[in-house]
Amino acid sequence: MLKQLSKIQVRPDLVDQVYQTLLDAISDGSLPPGARITQEEIAEQMDVSRSPVLQALRLLKKDGLVKDAPGRGVLVAELDPQWIGNLYQVRGALDTLAARLAAARKAVIDPRIIADGRKASRGKDVKAMIDADIAFHTAIYQASGNPLIFETTQFHWVHLRRVMGAVLQSAMQRESIWDEHEAMAQAIADGDVARAVEMSDHHATEARQNLVARLNEVLNHQVA
């Protein structure tokens, strides 16, 4: 049974809005891996016609987030631990480069981003947690002074949102993530390039290892 999705009120671009709503639902776990969704259900819940829903589902399929289901509708794609591990290796390299360049410039990350992140981590809104995490890393990309880093990461963030959602659904790591973020921001502001690079690399490596291990545990449990 499809969980309740919010109706779309403003309609300048219905396809983008339907796509983003479904992406958020997939990312925060409202639409878990294996969930079946149909054009009719989505159109009814969002109060839109089937046409923008069809286009949005095509985009999600192109991104690898949904796949054709036997019979009607589509299924939310499973998370592949090996692919996620590869994705995090790429992300880690870009994050480390951004941290190095930002620290060399002694860039100051807006402390409100960290405050908002800590606030979100204490709540239950997974989407807010994901948005806060993205805002922090985006701030470092922009502080690096190299616009190509931000542009390159945009291709991956669709999938990273989903991966981050899987991690943040567990309360165990939420606060510690922001402890690491704050320490990383301080190293960058201090111009401590070596420390900023070390922390960024550790942050990405630990996230990759923890996530891949958790995904493998889930898959092994399903097989058993």
Q: What is the mean pLDDT of each run of 10 residues along the chain (224 residues)?
A: 60 83 89 91 91 92 91 88 87 95 98 95 88 94 96 85 74 78 97 97 86 72 54
Q: Torsion over CA of 90, 91, 97 and 98, rounded to 10 degrees?
A: 150
Token readout for 35 is 């969930």
Q: What is the model's pLDDT at position 170?
A: 62
Token readout for 98 is 């951004």
Token readout for 163 is 């991966």
Q: What is the model's pLDDT at position 12?
A: 52
DSSP annotation of 190:
T
CB 189 within 8 A of CB 106: yes
How many Å apart are CA 196 and CA 186, to the nearest integer? 8
Q: What is the model's pLDDT at position 10?
A: 46
How many Å apart are CA 49 and CA 66, to the nearest integer? 20
Count the alpha carbons within 13 Å of 207 in the hemisphere toward its beta carbon: 29
How many Å apart are CA 28 and CA 124, to the nearest integer? 10
User: Measuring CA to CA, how many Å separate 103 from each of 4, 138, 145, 197, 198?
Assistant: 44, 15, 11, 9, 12
Q: What angle do CA 183, 100, 212 make, to 5 degrees?
A: 70
Per the rule left: phi > 0, alpha: psi between -120 and 50, beta: everything else, 66 is beta
